[in-house]
Amino acid sequence: ALQQLSQTVLPQLVTAARKIGKQQVDAVSKPIDAGESSPALECAVMLLAALPIEVLVACGEDYRWCTLVGLKSLKATHSANSSPAPLTTRALFAAQVLQLLVRAAKKSLSWVEDDLTSIIPMLTFACTSHPVPLVRLGSLQALQMIIETSQGHILPYKRDIERATRKAVEDRKREVRLVAVACLNAWHCGLTMDRD
């Protein structure tokens, strides 16, 4: 049933989300406000997060687009004035987007490497600044997965990654600190392996 929804409803949701995004860009003549995610985008992300990985990979460009646009919303979900939706609703959306990114990184999808310039800054920001611990934890997990699979393409982000992981190691939540240490270890082990 979910596979049928992914083939019939998902393209309609993504088209509607893109149309809303284009209207916002045309109306304001600037990029979409990162805190504004359309209901169509939220539904598309929810549907994608529920799909098995084999079906998810087959969604291709829709999967990529929803993940990248959803990541842009991470930066604004922490501010109180960003959206009228409650923080828990925005945090749930952020967690689903991060789940999509982790799954893409685990499968080593090529677009993750291609879009590091969009992904890394959002993850380093969210893993230290988001008010919801689950989102900080998910950001660190996604960052760790990208570090482990990136094969040296993230070296231009060395300073940002080190700063974010060192700050996350001092997080007030123990679970976040544990994942931050694992991420920092993956970063340093990856750098060591790249030098060999």
**What is the pLDDT at residue 35?**
46
**Within 13 Å of residue 75, how many CA atoms lie on the same side as its CB?**
14
Q: Calculate mean pLDDT across residues 43-59.
A: 88
The dihedral through the CA atoms of 142, 112, 74, 102 has a sign that is: negative
Q: Are 67 and 97 in contact (CB under 8 A)?
A: yes
Q: How confident is the model at residue 75 (pLDDT cuts 50, 70, 90)?
A: confident
Q: Please tell me the distance from the alpha carbon of residue 43 to that of residue 17, in angstroms, as a whole number.
A: 9
pLDDT of residue 163: 95
Q: What is the pLDDT of residue 125?
A: 93
Q: What is the pLDDT of residue 32?
A: 42
What's the pTM value of the predicted model, to 2 decimals? 0.83
Instruction: Say how far apart CA 73 and CA 190 lie, in whole Å.
Output: 29
Euclidean distance between CA atoms 44 and 31, whole angstroms? 20
Q: What does the DSSP 8-state code read for residue 22?
A: H
What is the pLDDT confidence band of residue 26, given thresholds at 50, 70 and 90? very low
